[in-house]
């Protein structure tokens, strides 16, 4: 029964986080089409495609070709209207219109390459962009003549008209989007987060943008960015479902996706080397996906979308149930406290409300910057996590990967050496110096030596590391020059460049290893020892070594415990010195797990694996700390 809450928590965390997969129900292909540049679908099931191979083709709902048309250059865009009229924009500088049987209604020479065409469902608004033109052009459906234009002010990449014809968005080469009403009046201008590759527009005026850095950005009709989420690589196409609740996307790695408006991935599949175009059927149950080899995939996503809606309802019910359970637990706790007469604690809290209020910002900041990142790392260690990109649940795979990671296994060996030598360095030299300063008879001399040692704290740690790095320089360094001076030039060495000596050279940094914090802790501990104990021991004939062994060391056990825990945490987590001096080299001779964590997070953007390394280090520190607390007993214990 005790495992039930944990199972429930796991269900709450995992429910709906793993994407669903599906496969193509049908696959159509157009010989010689090359890249599919655009897709358009209407209510009766007909689908039109445009291709890099200068072809525009219309299929019926069963994938049978109704008619095809050849342009004299790349077909950049097609738009199929609800009455069956097909608009075709081509790099041959022409804009074409065909009726439902494929008969040419009009053919207009636009004088420049036509980069995009988009229309409302009924064709009342048709917007066109042409190469090297800063104006958005409007076309009359009946005769193809230009009915107006709107100066945008910079070169445009594409434009989209909402299905209801109430909104128009123009995307420009300078990463801006211009939202217009149906009459061409500009309402908003807002910037995208990257180079715009594709845009789509809903009937509510919401805009989605696919960018070259793999981001999909959602904006409302006021130009406010609602959210941003990512795919694996450059977004080649985006589209809204007819109801605006779901978003389809394709990327240049050949992946096709469906997201909800919250940015949660509902589904994905991969086909081909590059995804080029996507389009929802009007009922939202089918996603048409165009590839780079002239294929159109007809993907049945109705079950995926329906399941996502069902899971959304289930999650709401689970959260509601969770709230009820928490409320019930709180009530039970209050009832128990009432029976035991403990409710008075709330009166005490109310009396001290201003103190708690003053403490609240500190607790909030501690939670935001300490506890939340820690829990986030624990959570994301179970995922293949790339912020702004795809996040996939992989369970314990990151931890299994650590076992086979040669850099981690090599780093663990180095870490054991660093722990042993680091504890010796951080305990013995500071203890010896603290004893020497403590036994100085002159108080002024004690103060002077304390000041002299602590003054070194003003030297930045990075500066100290760089100084030591210069000491080890094989040509100009102090160590090799000193060996030359005393006639031991044959011992001169590239200390940091030799895998056999690099780690020990790092360990030697900081000689004579008198840590100021450790020194002050030991010195404060010695000052806290009652003088009567020392005097009694001396009267009994105890020598100084016996006093240190039998009185000082036992009474400093609390300081030992504190410094050992602090030292272990610092050694296991620290990689700054290694990063600055050797960066883990030569080869992997100075690698440590913390450095691998840093590289995984910063160089390789593999934050899930980095989180797993961090969690593992936390577990090791926790175990060692518990053992240390159990083995070393302080004077109070």
Q: Domain 419-591: give its CATH code.
A: 1.10.3720.10
pLDDT score at 635: 46
- Whether residue 522 is predicted with pLDDT greater than 90 in this model: the reply is yes
Q: 593, exposed or middle or buried, with CB in 10 Å at 0-12, 13-18, 19+?
A: buried
| 93-115: average pLDDT | 94
pLDDT in tens, 411-449: 999 999 999 999 999 999 999 999 999 988 888 888 898
199 or 9: which carries more pLDDT confidence? 199
pTM for the full predicted model: 0.56
| Mean pLDDT to the nearest integer, 223-252 | 91
For residue 563, what pLDDT is reported?
Answer: 92
Q: What local confidence, expressed as pLDDT, does residue 32 receive?
A: 80
pLDDT in tens, 315-340: 788 889 989 999 999 999 888 888 88
Q: Assign residue 257 a region: left if phi > 0, alpha if psi is -120 to 50, beta otherwise?
A: beta
Per-residue model confidence as pLDDT tens digits over 542-557: 898 899 999 999 999 8
Task: Note the pLDDT of residue 8.
Answer: 47
Q: Is the pLDDT score of 203 beyond 50?
A: yes
Q: Give the C-alpha separation, 613 to 592, whole Å.
A: 11
pLDDT tier, 25 (very low <50, low <70, confident <90, very high otherwise): low
Rounded Cα distance between 580 and 595, Å, is 11
- The per-residue b/e assignment along 44-75, b for 16 or more CB within 10 angstroms, e otherwise, is eebbbbbbbbbbbbbbeeeeeebbebebeebb
pLDDT digits (tens, 9 = 90+) for 609-621: 999 999 999 998 8
The alpha-helical segments, DSSP class H, found in 139-239 are none
DSSP SS3 for 118:
strand
What pLDDT is stored for residue 4 in this prediction? 45
**pLDDT for 51 beyond 70:** yes
Is 438 exposed, middle or buried (CB count within 10 Å of its CB: 0-12, 13-18, 19+)?
middle
pLDDT over threshold 80, residue 2: no
Residue 9: predicted pLDDT:
44
What is the rounded average pLDDT of the residues 171-197? 91
Report the DSSP pairing between strands 225-230 and 215-219.
antiparallel
**CA–CA dist 627, 458 (Å, integer):** 35
Q: Does 524 score more than 60 pLDDT?
A: yes
User: Please, are residues 20 and 266 in contact by the beta-carbon 8 Å criterion?
Assistant: yes
Task: Reply yes or no on whether the pLDDT at 120 is more than 70.
Answer: yes
């Amino acid at each position: 029964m005790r495992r039930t809450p944990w199972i429930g928590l796991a269900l709450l965390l995992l429910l709906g986080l793993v994407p669903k997969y599906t496969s193509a129900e049908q696959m159509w292909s157009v010989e010689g089409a090359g890249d599919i540049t655009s897709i358009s679908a209407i209510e009766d099931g007909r689908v039109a495609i445009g291709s890099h191979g200068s072809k525009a083709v219309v299929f019926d709902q069963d994938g049978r070709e109704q008619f095809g048309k050849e342009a004299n250059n790349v077909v950049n865009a097609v738009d199929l209207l609800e009455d069956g009229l097909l608009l075709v924009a081509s790099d041959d500088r022409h804009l074409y219109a065909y009726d439902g049987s494929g008969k040419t209604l009009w053919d207009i020479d636009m004088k420049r390459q036509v980069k995009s065409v988009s229309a409302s469902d009924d064709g009342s608004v048709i917007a066109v962009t042409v190469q090297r033109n800063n104006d958005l052009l409007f076309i009359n459906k009946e005769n193809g003549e230009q009915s107006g234009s709107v100066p945008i002010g910079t070169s445009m990449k594409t434009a989209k008209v909402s299905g209801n014809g109430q909104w128009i968005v123009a995307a420009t080469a300078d990463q801006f989007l211009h939202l217009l009403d149906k009459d061409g009046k500009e309402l908003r201008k807002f910037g995208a987060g990257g180079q715009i590759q594709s845009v789509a527009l809903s009937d509510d005026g919401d805009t989605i943008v696919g960018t070259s850095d793999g981001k999909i950005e959602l904006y409302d009709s006021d130009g406010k960015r609602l959210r941003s989420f990512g795919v694996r690589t450059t977004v080649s196409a985006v589209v809204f479902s007819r109801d605006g609740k779901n978003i389809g996307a394709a990327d240049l790695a050949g992946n096709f996706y469906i997201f909800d408006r919250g940015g949660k991935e509902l589904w994905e599949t991969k086909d081909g080397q590059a995804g080029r175009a996507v389009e929802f059927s009007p009922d939202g149950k089918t996603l048409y996906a165009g590839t780079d080899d002239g294929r159109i995939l007809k993907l049945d996503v109705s079950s995926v979308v329906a399941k996502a809606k069902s899971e959304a309802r289930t999650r709401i019910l689970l959260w509601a149930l969770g709230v009820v359970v928490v409320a019930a637990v709180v009530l039970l706790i209050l009832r128990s406290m009432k029976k035991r007469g403990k409710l008075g604690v709330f009166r005490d809290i109310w009396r001290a409300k201003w103190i708690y209020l003053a403490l609240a910002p500190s607790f909030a900041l501690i939670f935001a910057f300490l506890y939340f990142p820690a829990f986030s790392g624990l959570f994301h260690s179970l995922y293949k996590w790339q912020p702004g990109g795809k996040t996939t649940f992989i369970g314990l795979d990151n931890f299994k990967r650590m076992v086979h990671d040669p850099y981690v296994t090599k780093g663990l060996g180095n870490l054991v050496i660093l722990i042993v030598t680091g504890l010796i360095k951080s305990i013995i030299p500071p203890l010896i110096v603290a004893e020497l300063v403590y036994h100085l008879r002159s108080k002024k001399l004690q103060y002077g030596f304390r000041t002299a040692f602590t003054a070194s704290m003003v030297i930045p740690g990075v500066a100290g590391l760089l100084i030591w790095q210069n000491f080890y320089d094989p040509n100009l360094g102090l160590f090799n020059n000193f060996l030359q001076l005393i006639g031991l030039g044959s011992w001169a060495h590239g200390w940091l460049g030799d895998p056999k000596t690099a780690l020990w050279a790092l360990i030697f940094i900081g000689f004579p290893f008198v840590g100021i914090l450790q020194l002050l802790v030991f010195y404060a501990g010695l000052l806290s020892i009652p003088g009567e104990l020392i005097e009694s021991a001396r009267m009994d004939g105890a020598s100084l070594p016996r006093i240190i062994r039998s009185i000082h060391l036992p009474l400093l056990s609390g300081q030992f415990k504190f410094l050992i825990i602090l030292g272990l945490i610092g050694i296991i987590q620290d990689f700054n010195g290694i990063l600055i001096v050797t960066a883990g080299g030569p080869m992997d001779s100075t690698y440590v797990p913390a450095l691998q964590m840093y590289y995984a997070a910063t160089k390789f953007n593999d934050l899930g694996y980095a989180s797993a390394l961090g969690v593992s280090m936390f577990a090791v520190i926790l175990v060692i700390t518990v053992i240390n607390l159990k083995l070393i007993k302080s004077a109070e214990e």
